[in-house]
Amino acid sequence: MTKTLTMMAMLITAAIACAEAGAADPSWTSGPNLPAPRYQHQALALANGGVMVVGGLDDGFAPLRTALISDGRLAGWSVSRTFDRVDARACVLASGKVLVTGGRYDGAGGDAKSATCELYDPSSGTWSPTGALHVGRYLHVIEALADGGAVVIGGISDATDPMDPGNDHIAHENPIERFDPATGHWTALPAIVAAASATSVTLSDGRVLVMGGFRGMDSGSLDPGGWMFDPADNSARVAGSWSASGYWVDFALAALPEGRALRAGGVAYYDPDAHATASAEIFDPSTDSWTPTGSMTRAHVGHALARLGTSGYLDADGVGTEIYDSGSGSWTAGPANPHPSVEGTLTRLHDGRLIAIGGRIGSSPIASTTILSTPASTDPATTPSDTPSGSGPSSPALASSAASGGGHGCGVGGAIAGIAMALASGLRTRRLPRPT
């Protein structure tokens, strides 16, 4: 009996070690190419395992009007919608529907700002109109809320700046607007001074943090801080400024546990100089302040940041990747992406994998997509709603990886099978005592 228990302990230890090795050593595989190169777009993870890509720029620096869809198999792309405007912003609602808002009309339509909003339903593959914004705008931010609605903040509108009436590129003082999914209508909330091209994230406590952006078209109009929106009472207030004085652009932002947030890299403007930075800092909601955390191994600009596994965050740019450990506050080198790019997207899928889409290498936009696979069994994002009961991984590639132990030479399934064999061979002639 002692020998059997010892064998079981060894096999369990091997299984755990192999699982940890698989989780710590993700790998990239090629995904389906986009129909054409694209960068500065949005990429949204859909509840059915697929991805939607909205807007962006093509290889001629022209804004794109299309929304592309790749279903849960990630086997190819199709055009789902061609909009009558550019620079719209989108988010995935709690219902799984995609809400696309605002934008601007270019070309023959002039440069008027759009208030149009539309909904996409992945379950039926159909689009439908919904309530319009009170103020047409573009370069705004949009975040989904826990009640099933969404909030739009900032952007550039058609309002006239009294100090510069001829400049329609000023980020005007626009009302925050909140979307009610039950009625399909928007409510205009008290106005705030909010920057355009800001970066936003929904914190784990449900509040929305908006940082950076600009109020005009030169570095002197960059926003040194940000705003905090609380959906509990529809209030907005100025958020704590960065830990270092100055202005930041092209940084990456991600939500951490306990209502915190991570800012990584970017360009720091210190009058009169600007430089790329490797610094990172953490927002603490209890003190409403930013404090430095471990620096990246090198400067990152035009990069993307997404959660990896249970406590890691992968940052990817045109040189390579780094992984941030939120427990230790340190960065380590990540797996090399075969198509590293800037101004692309990095999106966490519902099964825990990450997909990098498009971007540019130097001045050349790319159409490549790559998928970073992690063991789904160790990922809390793999829930019954993501992977139906009794089904396996959501793609053949991931199923193959799981069956072979992730390519690490020791399959977790094999180790568990060994435990079962040990139980069968070592305990079949012995009866275990019943619990009393």
Residue at token pair 């966490």: 348
> Contact 265/299 with Cβ under 8 angstroms?
yes
Q: How confident is the model at residue 428 (pLDDT cuts 50, 70, 90)?
A: very low
Which of the two residues, 400 and 217, has the higher pLDDT score? Answer: 217
Q: What are phi and psi of 242, to 5 degrees?
A: -55, 155
Whether 182 has a pLDDT exceeding 80, the answer reads: yes
Cα separation, 399 vs 389, in Å, equals: 15
List all residues 6 or more positions away from 272 whose beta carbon is below 8 Å from its beta carbon: none
Reading the block at residue 131, the tokens are 């309530």
Give the pLDDT score at 6.
45
**How does the average pLDDT of the chain come out, rounded?**
79
> Contact 296/265 with Cβ under 8 angstroms?
yes
Query: In which order are the strands placed within the sheet that holds 321-325?
Result: 304-308, 312-316, 321-325, 330-333
pLDDT in tens, 214-239: 875 544 566 667 889 999 999 998 88
Cα separation, 353 vs 376, in Å, equals: 8
Give the pLDDT score at 207.
95
Residue type for 52, please?
M
Tell me which residue of 309, 277, 281, 307 sits closest to 294, measured CA to CA: 281
Q: How confident is the model at residue 10 (pLDDT cuts 50, 70, 90)?
A: very low
Give the pLDDT score at 113.
92
Whether 270 has a pLDDT exceeding 60, the answer reads: yes
Q: pTM score > 0.85 for this model?
A: no
> Contact 396/31 with Cβ under 8 angstroms?
no
- Rg of the chain over CA atoms, in angstroms? 24
Whether 331 has a pLDDT exceeding 90, the answer reads: yes
pLDDT in tens, 293-305: 999 999 999 999 9
State the SS3 of 360-394: EECCEECCCEEEEECCHHHCCCCCCCCCCCCCCCC
Residue type for 367, please?
A
Give the pLDDT score at 271.
55
Cα separation, 110 vs 85, in Å, equals: 10
Instruction: Judge residue 158's burial from the number of C-beta atoms within 10 Å of its C-beta, 0-12 exposed, 13-18 middle, 19 or more buried.
Output: middle
Residue type for 34, please?
L
Is 401 in a helix, a strand, or coil?
helix
Cα separation, 332 vs 336, in Å, equals: 12
> Contact 206/193 with Cβ under 8 angstroms?
no
Reading the block at residue 115, the tokens are 């208030």
SS percent in the chain: helix, strand, coil, step 5:
15, 35, 50
Average pLDDT of span 346-374 = 95
Q: What are phi and psi of 397, to 5 degrees?
A: -65, -45
Average pLDDT of span 204-215 = 90
